[in-house]
Structure 1
Amino acid sequence: MPGSVIGINMNYGYPGQASRHGDEVSRTRPVATTSEKIMFGAPVVQNTDGSVKAWEAASTAANFAGVAMRKVKAAKIYPYQNFGYYGAGEPCDVLLRGGISVVCAWGTPTIGGTVYVRTNVAEEGSPEEAKIGDFGAEDESGNCIALTNAKWSSSKDERNVAELTILTRQGV
């Protein structure tokens, strides 16, 4: 058996997996019928009717309602349960406060560091695969916003997964 099979570094789990269960506060909300897919570990916005939707270019730090949690559900595309999503009209589990694993798409997170969410994909200067709603660890002025109620609580592993902690609840 090759030595590469036995890992020597721990990874931070899968996007959307709650990482600290002692302080987990979550809710289940329906996904708005007009929403794009909400990937596990993605930021969500809560609408006035209580439904949630995927992060959009017009979303702000005040709109941040939490992160879509990875929950066991019927497989839509087997075997991709670890990188699944919630579709329009489905119930979506949202972490409102606590620790969760997410993909850090750009920058190097530091413990206690600022969490950014992409709101724009510039033709120049943005990472090649950048998408609106990606979490990041460096300020790209004009392309992202800083979350006021979240901090990084780890570095990232070789898959770019890091732990993010939501400090306070926003919304209901």
Structure 2
Amino acid sequence: MPGSVIGITLPYGYPGQISRHGDEISRTRPVDAASGNIMFGGPVIQNSTGTVTAFGATNVASDFAGVAMRKVKSAKVYPYQNYGYYSANEPCDILLRGGVSVKCAWGTPSVGSTVYIRTAVVNGTSPSGAAIGDFGASNESGNCIALTNAKWSSDIDARNVAELTILNRQGV
């Protein structure tokens, strides 16, 4: 077997996968009936009704309740089980505190740096593929908000997946 088949770096897993055990706090909440899909590893907000929705353009940092966790469930579309989602009215597992793998859509995260969520695309500018509700690692004034209770815990791997740590819970 040639030595080139053995990698020298490991990827950080799939979005929504718990990355550190022992400090995680999670809850299961139903996805709001009017919500769009909540992707594994995507930021969520908790509504006053106890349901959750995907983080959107009108949300602020204090709305951030956690990250949708990647859990074993039947595949919506084979073979994309690692990049799945929660649909309306389904139970959604949310990480409220702890480490989780997420996609970093723009910027280069470093340990301890600020986590941003895209809330707009001002003047049509946006890094390639970055959408509203994506996590990022650089401030684009007017396009994103900074989270006050989360930090990056790693750099990115070849698939733009990085570890994010939620420092304290904001959801119930």
TM-score class, shorter-chain normalisation, is: over 0.9
CA RMSD of aligned residues (A): 1.1
Quick one: distance in 2 between partners of 1:143 and 1:95?
A: 25
TM score, norm. by length of structure 1: 0.96
Cα distance change, pair 77–4 in 1 and its aligned pair in 2 (3 A): farther
- The total of aligned residue pairs comes to 172
2:146 paired with 1:113:
no
Identical aligned residues as a percent: 72
Aligned-residue offset at 1:143 = 0.2
Aligned-residue offset at 1:134 = 0.6
The code of the aligned residue for 1:59 comes to N
Aligned-residue offset at 1:124 = 4.0
User: Structure 2 unaligned runs (5+)?
Assistant: none
Quick one: distance in 1 between partners of 2:69 and 2:115?
A: 18
Does the 8 Å contact 1:110/1:154 carry over to 2? yes
In structure 2, the partner of 1:33 is: 33
Quick one: distance in 2 between partners of 1:159 and 1:13?
A: 9
Quick one: distance in 1 between partners of 2:147 and 2:121?
A: 18
| Residue aligned with 1:155, SS | coil
Quick one: distance in 2 between partners of 1:2 and 1:30?
A: 49
Quick one: distance in 1 between partners of 2:65 and 2:109?
A: 21
Quick one: distance in 2 between partners of 1:5 and 1:143?
A: 41
User: Structure 1 unaligned runs (5+)?
Assistant: none
TM score, norm. by length of structure 2: 0.96
| Residue aligned with 2:29, SS | strand
The code of the aligned residue for 2:150 comes to A
2:53 paired with 1:53:
yes
Does the 8 Å contact 1:114/1:151 carry over to 2? yes
| Residue aligned with 2:105, SS | strand
Aligned-residue offset at 1:171 = 2.5
Cα distance change, pair 142–7 in 1 and its aligned pair in 2 (3 A): same
Instruction: Note the alpha carbon deviations across 1:66-108, whole angstroms, 9 max, x for none.
Output: 0000000011111111000000000000000000000011111
Instruction: Note the alpha carbon deviations across 1:138-170, whole angstroms, 9 max, x for none.
Output: 000000000000000000101000000000000
Does the 8 Å contact 1:121/1:130 carry over to 2? no
Does the 8 Å contact 2:66/2:171 carry over to 1? no
- Structure in which a larger fraction of residues adopt strand: 1
